[in-house]
Amino acid sequence: MKKPAFFNKRKTLNAITTKPESNNESPRDKIHKDDEFAKKNSLLSPSAIKKIIIAVVGISAFFAIILAIIIIYKNITAPNVNVKIEKHLVCQNNACIEIPGAGTNECQTNSECVQTKTEDVPSFAYIKDDSSIYTALVNGEDKKKILSIQNDTQNFTTLTWKSENFLTYSKCSKRKQNMCTIETLNLQNRSITPETAQTKAINIRKIKFSNDKKYLAYIGETNSTSIPDGETTPLPQLTFYLKAGAVTQELKTITSNVDPSNTQTRILFTPKNDYVVFSAINTNLAYNKKKRTTLVTNTPNIYVFQINGVLIDQISNASDPFLIENTSIGFSKNGRLYYKKIGTNAETQITTFNQSYNPVISFDKKNIAYWKNEGGFSDVLLGIYNIDLSIHRNILRGVILPSWVTNDSIVGVKADGCIGQACLLYEFQTTSLVLVNVNTGNVKIIDQGKFISDIDYLNNTQTNFN
């Protein structure tokens, strides 16, 4: 019977691996050859192990190289989703572009970047003759009338910068009560946006935005609904308003029968928008029935509210508040300048301030400008107090209502031939708005009119404090 082919193959394989026999070999030689054969054909022989190790190391190195190449390739070509790339928008060459790096967006559209040079942007604004609003550059050049009222039924009462190229103002009816509105003009496209609905006020004394523009504070004047004893007409009342979004709070109402020039009525926000500060003159009437006389007391007061509308501080017999630091304010009181931390009782004197009015602090907080009566003359004088040196300097005769435009210059109203606060009530034939360099005394006339008021500089809404 013929055997299967597989068996033949096994026989052939055995024949290859079976050592040849020799009848001529001695037993000793046979044993030696058997040992040599076993060493050569054993898988655990030193030479075999060496070859295996070399092969394993070579294969491992090869695969390690391949794996490294794959990882490097993936890092180069694949996006790294775990790394956030910081970018922000800035104005460059009249366009809004995206640049790398963390930062606050300066713009959203190209139209917001039309003017990028500070010297080309209107820096201060003012009301002229109650019927026109003008703007000018920081150097007093490029004066422009931006708004006007063509009839005598309305007038502008006050204004403030909301932000660069956005000016907010109030406009009231002269004939009808409760007809005041607050609006914002976009100087670039000339659009007007209402900031409030028609208010209850017959006059808006002051308006001011918080630094983040989330809050609008204003002081509205109304007539009292009752007539005090001994009086024949109702007295004006001032209400402090704070508006956030669509919600308007009435923080406080006081009687105020004075300050027709509106120079002792102020509003300011602390830089981090923690507090809003109002100042006004409070009128108190005490009627004596027996004598049929009324004792009138006018007291300037400063009221400090938390941003939620809670009254946190009140400074009696004080006026003209200005910011010293983030939560510290300066003010005028009893012929002196003081400062204090909001919510505390301690008041620290800065300097004497007899017969001086309307102090305003420079942006670098090194100088305080004011105006005062000049002794021996029927005139007024612009003065500067240097805080570091504790000295007063007389700058120029006949200038009132100073407002800083740089750390070296102010704008003010030139008003010769008047004394003290009577200057504010005097109807001049011609009043000049001037730019004064406080270091050199050089004067530049910007505009002239019968009455110039509510001078507001753009940086007054943007000054940073510690």
pLDDT at residue 9 greater than cutoff 70: no
In what order do the strands lie in the sheet containing 399-404? 399-404, 409-414, 431-437, 443-449
* Least confident range of 6-20, 83-97, 349-363, 445-459: 6-20
Q: How far apart are CA 60 and CA 71, in angstroms?
A: 16
pLDDT reported for residue 147: 95
Backbone φ/ψ region at 137: left (φ over 0), alpha (ψ -120 to 50), beta: beta
* Position 283 confidence tier, pLDDT thresholds 50, 70, 90: confident
Q: Give the bridge partners for 373, in sequence order.
A: 380
Sign of the alpha-carbon dihedral angle for 340, 371, 128, 460 = negative
Beta bridge partner(s), residue 421: none
Q: Whole-angstrom distance between the N-terminal and C-terminal Cα of the chain?
A: 113
CB proximity list for 202: less than 8 A, separation 6 or greater? 172, 177, 178, 179, 180, 221, 222, 223
Where do the H-state alpha helices sit in 18-45?
Answer: 27-41
CB-based contact 400:413 (threshold 8 Å): yes
Q: Where are the alpha helices (DSSP H) in 18-79?
A: 27-41, 46-77
> Is residue 430 within 8 Å of residue 416, measured between CB atoms?
no
Q: Percent of the chain beyond pLDDT 90?
A: 39
397 pLDDT band (50/70/90 cuts)?
confident
pLDDT of amino acid 26: 60
Q: What percent of the chain has pLDDT over 70?
A: 73
The reported pLDDT for the residue numbered 416 is 60
Q: For residues 84 and 351, what is the distance between their CA atoms, to the nearest angstrom?
A: 54
Q: How many degrees, rounded to 5, is the angle at CA 427 between CA 424 and CA 430? A: 105
* pLDDT for 305: 97
Nearest to 372 by CA among 391, 395, 349, 389: 395
Task: List, for residues 114-154, the tens digit of each pLDDT value.
Answer: 544 445 677 889 999 889 999 999 888 899 999 999 888 88
Domain ranges within the chain, ordered by starting residue: 86-116
pLDDT at 414: 85
In the predicted structure, residue 431 carries a pLDDT above the cut 90: no
Alpha helices in 106-187 (DSSP H): none
Half-sphere exposure of 426 (CA within 13 A, CB side): 17
Composition of the chain by helix, strand, coil, percent to 5: 15, 45, 40
Choice between 230 and 109, residue whose per-residue pLDDT is larger: 109
Per-residue pLDDT band at 256 (split at 50, 70, 90)? confident
Is the pLDDT reported for residue 236 higher than 80?
A: yes
In this prediction, residues 164-173 reach a mean pLDDT of: 93
pLDDT at 279 over 60: yes
* pLDDT value for 14: 45
Q: Is the separation of the CB atoms in 138 and 406 below 8 Å?
A: yes
Q: Residue 369 has what pLDDT?
A: 94
Q: Is the pLDDT of residue 53 over 70?
A: yes
- Written as six digits, the tokens of 320 are 């003209």
Band the pLDDT of 422: cuts 50, 70, 90. low
Q: What pLDDT score does 195 carry?
A: 93
Tell whether the model's pLDDT for residue 36 goes beyond 80.
no
Phi, psi for residue 82 in degrees, rounded to 5: -85, -10
When the pLDDT of each residue in the chain is averaged and rounded to a whole number, the result is 79
